[in-house]
Structure 1
């Protein structure tokens, strides 16, 4: 894989308040530049949602209503998130979730493409059986000892997913081969079906 061919890409992760549809309580964007993670440029922000965080959501990510009492709102943070991610590729594990939540908060956002590391892992390791982030980290032997924070927090999960993406990318020769396996149908960046030759389009 020639990582120098990669476009601008951010691995993203979001945490919600447990409502349906969810309000954001944390958002992280972790840059990957030329196939290398860039922790120094990563952004992770707590948000004060318009509705309280449910006890179930707190049990998952351990973010309490007290933790976000003085945090900025999405209205304050959203324009910067939009500016960072506009026109860039994003990657996430089970990307339809993060993409869907972000798109609901940024209806005019247009990412260049969406890489799903869950879909990519299934293509790369078809017999793995389990494809959760924890299972894949164990399968690949990725060392998370130097990753700050804790599991199920947006910054930690985005960093871990970035390392998983780079490990999986090593199984593909080109960026085009990777996105053919990693972009869900209908998502931005999905390869278009081959166009038949003009002769085949002609009815005789």
Structure 2
């Protein structure tokens, strides 16, 4: 895979407050450049939600209401997040969740395309008992020595781990077009156009 042929791509991850629909409490956007995560230009935001973080959500990501009380509200950072995302491709693990939540919070934003490492993993590692991020980290053993120290289920860490997972699986494909043919969920931005059948007149 020639990574120099890739369009602008950011690996994203979001964490919510446990409500339905969720309010955002953390967003991470990690650019991939020349086949490497570019932490120097990554975006990361902690957000004070309008509704309290539920106990269930706290058990997952550890972001309590006390931790977030001095963070900005979404309205204060929304423009920054949209500027960082721009019209780039995005990638995530089970990315339809991240895309749906971001789109609900940024109705005027639309990525060029959407890559799902869950879809890639199901193709690359057939027969695994689980395709969750923890299971795939165990399977592929990516280099996480430079990952943020916050740990799993925090947006910055999960974005970094997902980036390494993406790059490991991308090496199985010769071209970008081959990759996205597998990786873009149907109906999502960037999905290849289906081939039209020849018509006899």
TM-score (norm 1): 0.95
Pairwise CA distance, 1:201: 5.2
Equivalent position of 2:195 in the other structure? 194
Equivalent position of 1:161 in the other structure? 162
Gaps of 5+ in 2: none
Distance (whole Å) between structure 2 residues aligned to residue 79 and residue 100 of structure 1: 18
Aligned length: 200
Gaps of 5+ in 1: none
Equivalent position of 2:23 in the other structure? 23
Pairwise CA distance, 1:137: 1.0
Match runs of 1:51-62 below 5 Å: 51-62=51-62
Distance (whole Å) between structure 2 residues aligned to residue 22 and residue 152 of structure 1: 15
Match runs of 1:6-17 below 5 Å: 6-17=6-17
Equivalent position of 1:66 in the other structure? 66
Distance (whole Å) between structure 2 residues aligned to residue 97 and residue 125 of structure 1: 22
Match runs of 1:70-89 below 5 Å: 70-89=70-89
Runs of at least 4 residues of structure 1 off by over 2 A?
none
User: Is the contact made by 2:12 and 2:90 (CA closer than 8 Å) also made in structure 1?
Assistant: yes
Pairwise CA distance, 1:143: 2.6
Distance (whole Å) between structure 1 residues aligned to residue 13 and residue 49 of structure 2: 16
Larger radius of gyration: 1
Distance (whole Å) between structure 1 residues aligned to residue 8 and residue 146 of structure 2: 24
Distance (whole Å) between structure 1 residues aligned to residue 93 and residue 62 of structure 2: 20
User: Is the contact made by 2:28 and 2:43 (CA closer than 8 Å) also made in structure 1?
Assistant: yes
